[in-house]
């Protein structure tokens, strides 16, 4: 992130500032995760669907693919693994369809995040293991899932920063 002479990011570029939270563990973890989700979504703002779908690296990663991927990851960890949802996990490597729009994918991501937040709110003990795991390990606790989702979303928010800068030069959070 570029900074001004005073060391803070320019608000004129639409930067999202890190949240201030001095709450309990659940509140702090959710506040950080929500901030990162919005940082990813903000990177799609003002772009055409074609631009947001444009791969910015040889692997084919695009801003819309990141949003679609994070939607699936939210559903997989919170709904399928922790809450024990029916069916199979979502395909978190699925490509963006030609007819999928940024508006639809962002709405789906927000809906998945809301479902995840409801699961977190309903859990009385963050240390309770979930129903199953997406890995070859025992089911993780909700605390681990929240921490993992902060890490996963932050990593992809960094990718989104780079992709957006490559598209139109926009920098910041």
Query: Has residue 108 got a pLDDT over 90?
Result: yes
Residue ranges per domain, the chain?
Answer: 22-168
Give the pLDDT mean for 67-82.
98
CA distance 18 to 38: 11
The phi and psi torsions of 35 (rounded to 5 degrees) equal: -60, -45
Query: Has residue 148 got a pLDDT over 60?
Result: yes
Q: Note the pLDDT of residue 15.
A: 62
Q: Note the pLDDT of residue 2.
A: 34
Q: Which two tokens stand for residue 27?
A: 């509140």
Give the pLDDT mean for 58-83.
98
| CATH 1.20.120.450 correct for 22-168 | yes
Give the pLDDT mean for 54-67.
96
Query: Has residue 155 got a pLDDT over 80?
Result: yes
Q: With cut-offs at 50, 70 and 90, classify the pLDDT of residue 9.
A: very low
Q: What Å distances lie between residue 118 and 40, 60, 126, 132, 146, CA to CA?
A: 21, 33, 13, 18, 13
């Amino acid at each position: 992130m570029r900074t001004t002479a005073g060391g803070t990011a320019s608000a004129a570029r639409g930067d999202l500032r890190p949240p201030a939270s001095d709450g309990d563990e659940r509140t702090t973890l959710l506040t950080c995760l929500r901030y990162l989700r919005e940082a990813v979504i903000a990177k799609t703002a003002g772009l055409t669907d074609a631009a947001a779908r444009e791969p910015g690296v040889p692997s084919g990663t695009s801003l819309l693919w990141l949003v679609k991927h994070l939607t699936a990851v939210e559903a997989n960890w919170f709904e399928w693994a922790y809450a024990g949802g029916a069916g199979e996990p979502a395909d978190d490597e699925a490509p963006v369809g030609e007819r999928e729009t940024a508006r639809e994918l962002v709405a789906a991501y927000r809906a998945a995040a809301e479902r995840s937040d409801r699961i977190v709110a309903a859990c009385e003990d963050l240390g309770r293991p979930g129903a199953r795991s997406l890995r070859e390990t025992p089911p993780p606790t909700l605390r681990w899932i929240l921490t993992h989702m902060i890490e996963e979303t932050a990593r992809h928010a960094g990718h989104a920063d780079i992709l957006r800068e490559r598209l139109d030069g926009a920098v910041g959070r």
